[in-house]
């Protein structure tokens, strides 16, 4: 993620109760017909001089006003359509948001919203009293989880878009419960697609590396986690998950947020609903437990293999505990984050060349067929 590596970090955006208490468009194309061209020519040749600047200015303003009204109407319509599908999730550890996944009571959210908690409550956008929920399953590598409420009265499932059709410049709305402010909406655009970002490692997150996320300028704040990033067709294109922070100046970096794309959300959530776990992550893995190792100068010098999954990809290729991985396919691997980011761009079944330094100091290359990342 070259745009944020130098000076910005990432902050997972589930709010805590304490924070909540303290802090409490679309494009249009116009076609010019021959008569339109003629009218424009007439205005420039005589109408302006005879009527003054007022008439042409009025004629130019009317379409702009109409477009603004149409855009505003689209915003209102989307909010009315989607906001009832966005819920507030409270746990004994904090607060976040969720999206009604189906009419059976399943709600999808971020794993870091529910991680480490033992009690869960869901409040609908209508403001009704919170109802108890149970954790169906979670998948920390993609920072996703599903909870279920037994009372399905009033639930309105969201409509999920095909996120492969998302374009830079698309207008989007972020809906959720930032800082505990229920059913809040902010607007922005899709700033970029296909980003790979890594979450900070803390008590609620293993420091997951998320591939192909959507970058947005819509304001995302603590409590937005698990909510909805929505297009102007009223479809969910992603789940807001991270906001960038400026590590040099401190605080948030305005207008830089990230959402897990809807195609990943629906795939993982459906597996959690069906099986209680993820059986096909579509994420590549080496099958090793790793740590960053440092060289004599104290700088990161590779990834040390602590354990090898028996029968896994690395073991099958002859990689053993005590080895140090220093590169894959010619790309240097100085630390665990670099390895996670690179693997996030690959698929199970891919064959890669791994540079290895053995425990005895010898070096070599081994060919590894990547396996599938498990929970």
pLDDT at 60: 54
Are residue 226 and residue 306 in the same domain, yes or no?
Answer: no
Contact 200, 10 (CB under 8 A): yes
Q: How, if at all, do strands 331-332 and 284-285 pair?
A: unpaired
Any domain includes 77: yes
Residue identified by tokens 């896994």 is 312
pLDDT at 261: 98
Any domain includes 247: yes
As annotated, the active-site residues are 112, 143, 225
The burial class, CB within 10 Å (0-12 / 13-18 / 19+), for 206 is middle
Cα separation, 306 vs 289, in Å, equals 5
Final residue of a domain: which of 280, 308, 341? 280
Any domain includes 39: no
CATH code of the domain covering residue 80: 2.40.10.120
Are residue 247 and residue 309 in the same domain, yes or no?
Answer: no
DSSP 268: H
Any domain includes 88: yes
Are residue 288 and residue 268 in the same domain, yes or no?
Answer: no
Are residue 166 and residue 297 in the same domain, yes or no?
Answer: no
Contact 246, 253 (CB under 8 A): yes
pLDDT at 29: 32
Cα separation, 216 vs 163, in Å, equals 14
Are residue 265 and residue 326 in the same domain, yes or no?
Answer: no
Q: Which domain holds residue 71?
A: 1-22+61-280
The secondary structure of 270-310 as a DSSP string is HHHHHHSS-S----EE--EEEEEEE-TTSSEEEEEEEEE-T
Are residue 241 and residue 367 in the same domain, yes or no?
Answer: no
CATH code of the domain covering residue 365: 2.30.42.10
pLDDT at 133: 97
pLDDT at 220: 93
Any domain includes 51: no
Q: How, if at all, do strands 8-12 and 106-109 pair?
A: unpaired
DSSP 164: G
Are residue 273 and residue 152 in the same domain, yes or no?
Answer: yes
Per-residue pLDDT of the chain (375 residues; tens, 9 = 90+): 333 333 334 555 554 333 222 222 222 333 333 333 333 333 333 333 333 444 444 455 666 788 888 889 999 999 999 999 999 999 999 999 999 999 999 999 999 999 999 999 999 998 889 999 999 999 999 999 999 999 999 999 999 999 999 999 999 999 999 999 999 999 999 999 999 999 888 777 778 999 999 999 999 999 999 999 999 999 999 999 999 887 787 777 889 999 999 999 999 999 999 999 999 999 999 999 999 999 999 999 999 999 999 999 999 999 999 999 999 999 999 999 899 999 999 999 999 999 999 999 999 999 999 999 987
**Model confidence pTM above 0.85:** no
Are residue 261 and residue 290 in the same domain, yes or no?
Answer: no
Bridge partners of 190, per DSSP, are 216
pLDDT at 67: 85
Any domain includes 102: yes
pLDDT at 142: 96
């Amino acid at each position: 993620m070259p745009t944020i590596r130098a000076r910005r970090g990432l902050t997972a955006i589930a709010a805590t109760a304490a924070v909540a208490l303290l802090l409490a468009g679309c494009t249009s194309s116009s076609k010019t017909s021959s008569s339109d061209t003629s009218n424009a020519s007439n205005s420039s040749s005589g109408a302006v001089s005879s009527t003054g600047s007022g008439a042409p200015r009025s004629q130019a303003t009317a379409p702009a006003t109409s477009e603004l009204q149409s855009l505003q109407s689209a915003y209102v319509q989307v909010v009315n359509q989607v906001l009832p599908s966005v819920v507030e999730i409270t746990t004994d550890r904090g607060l976040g948001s969720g999206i009604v996944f189906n009419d059976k009571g399943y709600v999808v959210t971020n794993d870091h919203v529910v991680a480490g908690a033992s009690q869960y409550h869901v409040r609908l956008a209508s403001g009704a009293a919170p109802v108890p929920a149970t954790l169906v399953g979670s998948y920390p590598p993609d920072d996703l989880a599903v909870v279920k409420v037994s009372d399905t009265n009033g639930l309105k499932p969201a409509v999920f878009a095909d996120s492969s059709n998302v374009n830079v410049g698309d207008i989007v709305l972020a809906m959720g419960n930032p800082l505990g402010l229920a059913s809040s909406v902010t607007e922005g655009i899709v700033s970029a697609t296909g980003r790979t970002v890594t979450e900070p490692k803390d008590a609620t997150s293993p420091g997951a590396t998320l591939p192909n996320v959507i970058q947005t300028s819509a304001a995302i704040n603590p409590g937005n986690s698990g909510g909805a990033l929505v297009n102007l067709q009223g479809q969910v294109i992603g789940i807001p998950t991270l906001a960038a922070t400026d590590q040099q100046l401190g605080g948030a970096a305005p207008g830089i947020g990230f959402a897990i794309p809807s195609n990943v959300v629906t795939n993982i959530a459906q597996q959690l609903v069906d099986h209680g776990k993820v059986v096909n992550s579509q994420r590549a893995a080496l099958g090793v437990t790793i740590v960053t190792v440092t060289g004599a100068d104290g700088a990161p010098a590779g990834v040390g293999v602590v354990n090898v999954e028996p029968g896994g990809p690395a073991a099958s290729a002859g990689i053993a505990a005590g080895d140090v991985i220093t590169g894959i396919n010619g790309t240097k691997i100085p630390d665990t984050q670099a390895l996670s980011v690179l693997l996030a761009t690959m698929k199970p079944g891919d064959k890669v060349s791994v540079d290895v330094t053995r425990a005895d100091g010898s070096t070599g290359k081994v060919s590894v067929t990547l396996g599938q990342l498990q929970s």
